[in-house]
Chain A
Amino acid sequence: MAEAHPVGFQWVVEAKKRGAEIIHVDPRFTRTSALAHTYVPVRAGADIVFLGGVINYILSNELDFREYVLAYTNASMLVSEDFQDTEDLDGLFSGYDPEKNVYDQTTWQYQGQQHTAQDAGDAAEDRETASGLEQESHGPPIPADVPRDPTLRDPRCVYQVLKRHYARYTPEVVEQVCGVPPEKFLKVCEAWTRNSGRERTTALVYSVGWTQHSVGVQYIRTGAIIQLLLGNMGRPGGGVMALRGHASIQGSTDIPTLFNLLPGYLPMPVAGTHDSFRQWVDSIRHPDQKGFWANAESYAVSLLKAYFGDAATAENDWGFDWLPKLTGDHGTYQQVLDMIDGKIKGYFLLGQNPAVGSAHGKAQRLGMANLDWLVVRDLFMIESAEFWKNGPEVATGELVPEECRTEVFVVPAASHVEKEGTFTQTQRMLQWREKAVEPPGDCRSELWFFYHLGRMVKERLASSQDPRDRGLQALTWDYPLYGERHDEPSGEDVLKEINGYDVATGAPVPGFTALKADGSTACGCWIYAGVYKDGVNQAARRKPGAEQDWVAREWGWVWPADRRTLYNRASADPDGRPWSERKKYVWWDPDAGEAGEWTGYDVPDFEKTKPPSYRPPEGATGVAAISGDDAFIMQGDGKGWLYAPSGLIDGPLPTHYESVESPVRNPLYRQQANPTRKLYDRTDNLVNPSPPEEHAEVFPFIFSTSRLTEHHTAGGMSRQLAYLSELQPAMFVEVSPELAALRGLDHLGWATIVTARSAIEARVLVTDRLTPLRIDGRTVHQVWLPYHFGFSGLVTGDAANDLIGITLDPNVLIQESKVGTCDMRPGRRPEGPELLPFLAGYRRRAGLDPGHHTPMLTPPED
């Protein structure tokens, strides 16, 4: 956190001064570790064992916050008798389909709910469209009569299932798998549990060190289980905090530039599943479902009204048929492989530098070299614009400029001070930026670029009779223009459309509860409804923090409905009283309003006048079905899920799988790696062998990559600036003194790092901050690389992402780039064409011949 989010870290430092205990778990000692009370070195890729060990500690010692767990989680619900655990099936849950490599989830359901489950075909489609997680919030309805055991003693209740599942995750196993000594591990367990409960809360902070794994979603779920067991969710000082890495990466998920989503987490329609408007909407809202997704039809209709205006009518299903339909995986990595295969003609890069910043740099560059055209929108000349000129493949001869047909347009972009608009930061807060100056020369905002591109495309198709152009023709695009050149749309006008408005009067809607399914409202992103409440740009609110209380509600605007902490109903007990005076946040005031109201420091994440005692009548659905103590109002059953009966491709409970490339045999199960991971089994995307496969010893070391404080992602905004470049001027690799001795690496000398994909060179930093670990009885070495460097800029170096292959988490299609295996050699890598035979030699020794396939399912060992 101190490394990549230094200003956010001020709150950790302040908490520390006030007595908070800080623990940092990381494969290497970082600037965050330097200020922690306890630093725990851990093997990259073993987090579920570490966290599972904490769960085991909590459950075996009954240290969970029992009242909270009983009221707000699904601990008491009974799971199907047919469910079998990885502990029973050596690393697989019941329902595994070895053909499709996914699960039929029938047996994972609560008792009596099996009919609602996803079969293996559904699950396979969910994996391809990264929509598994939609099932968690849009998930099947949970009727009031799910069998429960409030004593938590029934062997089929979630609590007991959880307890059995993690029983083997003992301190000794944590030591064996993670390399963490038991005393140290127990110290963490004690601190975590001691600082949780009624009077105290613990915050869990993670970043892409968790997401970029083939089991990444399950890492985060393991953390969430702990936080639910300890009663840390929805409470001040608690939570699971995702530190996101880009100014508006949260916004780009909310208003997605993502293939599988429409604004507000509405799914892109999938052919065969969402062939009609009704099918699409019902799959989101589930007519019998509890919670706020039940109103999904209002959100969906309002979005289509915002897109297509008057042309969207009830008769034409609001223009639903104009939406394109998905058929499978269209994620960024699939796209790159499709580029290599010549299936994609044109590519826009909008402030993104995949030649350096995406996994498998070589695939990225070769993909771009096989396009008709590429448009790069950036502030500086980045590697992704120059791959045809200076890229590593030009040096090896794999790419010859005179033979590369890709037409490249670099259309310079406006900077953040040269345009107005909102960023959504990591805590879902929208903050408005004022425009300070005009952009120089040809630099233009994305608002300008896409407005005019849309205008020109619409003009060219204005008289088309082709039905496929109907949607474009109907698209509302009449944005007023402003500015010195009278050609710039206003960000505020677009924000008003995002907020939503009454179609008849144009008046902004006050919030998403005002949206209608009858076409009388339009709204570009339902979760942002309210950001322009009362005709005021709420994101531009800037009442000084010093003049407000600690929640500072008059600064910016947080979705949904300006709630600063999600699920904050859980900060009060089931009866609506604060769990403790010290930790009071939102509570029920029986004397407020007509018959009591929720009140507190934050906007209550609950219906304002629904009393804690409310119980839904028989047959209630939607919002009315949310009970007065259902704190998790977006969940199909109103509960925090310790066990996920649906929603996850790879299992209802997090289970330790080794990373796709690991020098270690999975000590817990026969199954080595995630059996549902997304694999692209191609000769240009080789995977280093891992046990029990032969030749794993060719790549004996673990490497991980991440950021330095002094640089930003692929370097486009930092390696171009002298004041940042001088602070970290060269690509380097951090190695422990032990590995340096083992491989003859000299401090400040060169090292070559090799994987099946590529070899890169880096200067060596021998540092005590890295340590070998003892894993399963042997010494395992880890090295670390920053991923900021590339071949353009004031300071240059080989790109760490060239080392990484493409294997993805099955739930969200994010690549495993936080852990891989490699070899290390002293000295510089071979240059030019010499690099290719060098790599071929490694592949041969590793057994990665043509015809080699990485096994998905680990075969039984003799």
Chain B
Amino acid sequence: MPSNSLYGPLDPAPDAGYTDAPPRMGFFTDTSVCIGCKACEVACKEWNGVPDDGFNLLGMSYDNTGGLTANSWRHVAFIEQPRASSGAGTDTPGAFAGTPAGPSASAHSAVVAASAGQDTGTDPGVPPAVDALAAAGTVAPPGPQFLGMPGHDLPGRIPDAPRTDFRWLMMSNVCKHCTHAGCLDVCPTGALFRTEFGTVVVQEDICNGCGYCIPACPYGVIDQRQGDGRAWKCTMCYDRIGDGLTPACAKACPTESIQYGELSELRERAATRVAALHEQGVGEARLYGHDENDGVGGDGAFFLLLDEPEVYGLPPDPVVPTKNLPAMWRRAGLAALTMAAAVVVAAAGRRR
């Protein structure tokens, strides 16, 4: 067992005991060509028999799913931004130039949306309107100031000015299939396991619904289904990829925003795409989750984003909570030994 098995770069399948593991498979989601059609959400549910999430109008632009839950393993986030990137390749600069448009309402709308409750039939379900808060963070509100929202005056975003530029970001979010998966590491039953493809899957026949995995996910992905109790999330269509098929979401995606393949190949493709976008002047294009040296050892599902991760409701610097497990174990072991020693000393003293 390598010493860094819980942190840092790693090929996870061999590490998990697969002697002839196939190449690690993954998703590359290129949000610059996402049209927000949600085919991925539907194709996933049809294939995997995932229940619906309830019929709730969330008011978060066209997002009525809200987030990744036990009942939504793909989630398309929509972010309306009164701004343009420097290039013209991925947005529409001057969309509203010359019209009598006033300031943006997106922050205000997002705050309203954030307070609109919903029942997803899961627990904890959607983290409190994470995308709406993120959207709110991209611009100052037009009306009364609201407090406590992080980063409402990010650099380069002008509050209260009439909106001229506009862009509508869309991103299909999914389980990251981390190299170091907190959910897997804390699962006491072996329900969560690493597949030969390097993906992370909950085994529905093993899971006992203890819920330890839920706080262990640095992305807030894994979730329990109410009335069932078990944890559910994207399996990267383990049954399909085992037969050499493409996962349902990537298969359906009309614009190849979701691409499935060998992770190493996807990383090369992503780097090429970022370079091409940079060449077109889209300086904001960046990858997220591709870096093996990040807090989760890199993601099996990574993204090309056009803004800060927070804007999409993604944590900027996710760290697997088990990163410090060995040290914690060492400390815990030391503490236990000390306790034991104390007991021994005490007992010895009494004998004496």
Contacts and interface: CB of A to CB of B under 8 A. Distances in A.
A179 interface: yes
Contact of A737 (B89, B102, B113): B102
A772 B99 contact: yes
Contacts of A765: 59, 109
Interface string B70-105: 000000000010100000111110111111111111
Nearest to A748: B59
B256 A2 contact: no
Interface in B17-36: 33, 35-36
Which of B36, B46, B106, B170 counts the most A-chain CB atoms under 10 A from its CB?
B36
Q: Give the interface residue-count category, chain B.
A: 35 or more
Nearest to A772: B100
A723 B37 CA distance: 13
A766 B98 CA distance: 20
Contacts of A29: 92, 95, 166, 168
5 contacts: A29-B168, A768-B106, A772-B99, A773-B99, A773-B100
B310 interface: no
Interface string B28-66: 000001011111011001100000111111010110110
Interface in A35-58: 35-39, 41
A725 B82 CA distance: 29
Given A726-B52, A730-B57, A39 B42 contact: no
Nearest to B76: A727
B343 interface: no
Contacts of A39: 92, 95, 166
Contacts of B112: 746-748
Contacts of B104: 737, 768
A127 interface: no
Interface string A698-742: 000000000011100000000000111111111010001110110
Contacts of A260: none
Contacts of A769: 80, 166, 168
A747 B113 contact: yes
A726 B64 contact: yes
Contact of A767 (B42, B46, B109, B116): B109
A184 B93 CA distance: 11
Given A29-B95, A727-B64, A763-B57, A768 B108 contact: no
Interface residues of A, number: 58
Contact of B55 (A729, A736, A772, A774): A729
Contacts of A795: 55
B251 interface: no
B90 to A, nearest CB: 8
B167 interface: yes
A98 interface: no
Contacts of A461: none
B254 interface: yes
Nearest to B33: A13
A856 to B, nearest CB: 33
B323 interface: no
A505 to B, nearest CB: 46
Nearest to B106: A768
B159 interface: no
Interface stretch (A3-11, A342-350, A570-578, A630-638): A3-11
A794 interface: yes
B102 A31 contact: no
B101 A736 contact: yes
Contacts of B53: 726
Which of A35, A38, A179, A736 counts the most B-chain CB atoms under 10 A from its CB?
A35
B9 interface: no
A747 B59 contact: yes
A723 B94 contact: no
Which of B95, B102, B108 counts the most A-chain CB atoms under 10 A from its CB?
B95
Contacts of A10: 254-256
A61 interface: no
B92 A33 contact: yes
Which of B33, B92, B108 counts the most A-chain CB atoms under 10 A from its CB?
B92
A772 B90 CA distance: 24
A740 B57 contact: no
A748 B100 CA distance: 24
Interface in A773-795: 773-774, 779, 794-795
Contacts of B45: 723
Contacts of B283: none
B309 interface: no
B176 interface: no
Given A9-B254, A35-B33, 8 more contacts: A13-B35, A29-B168, A34-B170, A37-B88, A709-B36, A726-B52, A747-B109, A795-B55
Contacts of A728: 62, 64
Interface string B99-134: 111111110110011001000000000000000000
Contact of A723 (B33, B46, B61, B116): B46
Going nearest first, the 6 A-B pairs with the smallest beta carbon separation are A181-B98, A737-B105, A729-B55, A722-B52, A730-B57, A39-B92
B59 A2 contact: no
Interface of A: 2, 6-7, 9-10, 13, 17, 24, 29, 31-39, 41, 179-181, 183-184, 708-710, 722-730, 732, 736-738, 740-741, 746-748, 763, 765-769, 771-774, 779, 794-795
A711 to B, nearest CB: 11
A94 B167 CA distance: 47
Contacts of A772: 99-101
B142 interface: yes
B290 interface: no
B255 A13 contact: yes
A718 to B, nearest CB: 11
A189 to B, nearest CB: 16
B163 interface: yes
B168 A31 contact: yes
B113 A740 contact: no
B213 to A, nearest CB: 25
Nearest to B81: A768
B39 A738 contact: no
A553 B106 CA distance: 48
A722 B121 CA distance: 14
Given A747-B108, A766-B109, A35 B80 contact: no
Given A181-B98, A726-B54, A766 B42 contact: no
Contacts of B88: 37
A727 B38 contact: yes
A200 B100 CA distance: 36
A430 B82 CA distance: 44
A624 B263 CA distance: 63
A728 B37 CA distance: 11
A322 B105 CA distance: 64
Contact of B168 (A34, A730, A747): A34
Contacts of B142: 737
A728 B38 CA distance: 11
A181 B254 CA distance: 34
B54 to A, nearest CB: 7
B35 A35 contact: yes
B103 A737 contact: yes
A818 B303 CA distance: 38
Which of A6, A33, A740, A795 counts the most B-chain CB atoms under 10 A from its CB?
A6
A2 B95 contact: no
A710 B38 contact: yes
A700 to B, nearest CB: 15
B59 A774 contact: no
Given A726-B64, A748-B116, A34 B42 contact: no
A746 B61 CA distance: 14
A723 B104 CA distance: 32
A774 B97 CA distance: 12
Contacts of B116: 748
Nearest to A2: B35
A29 B61 CA distance: 12
Given A723-B42, A726-B64, A795-B55, A6 B37 contact: yes
A722 B54 CA distance: 8
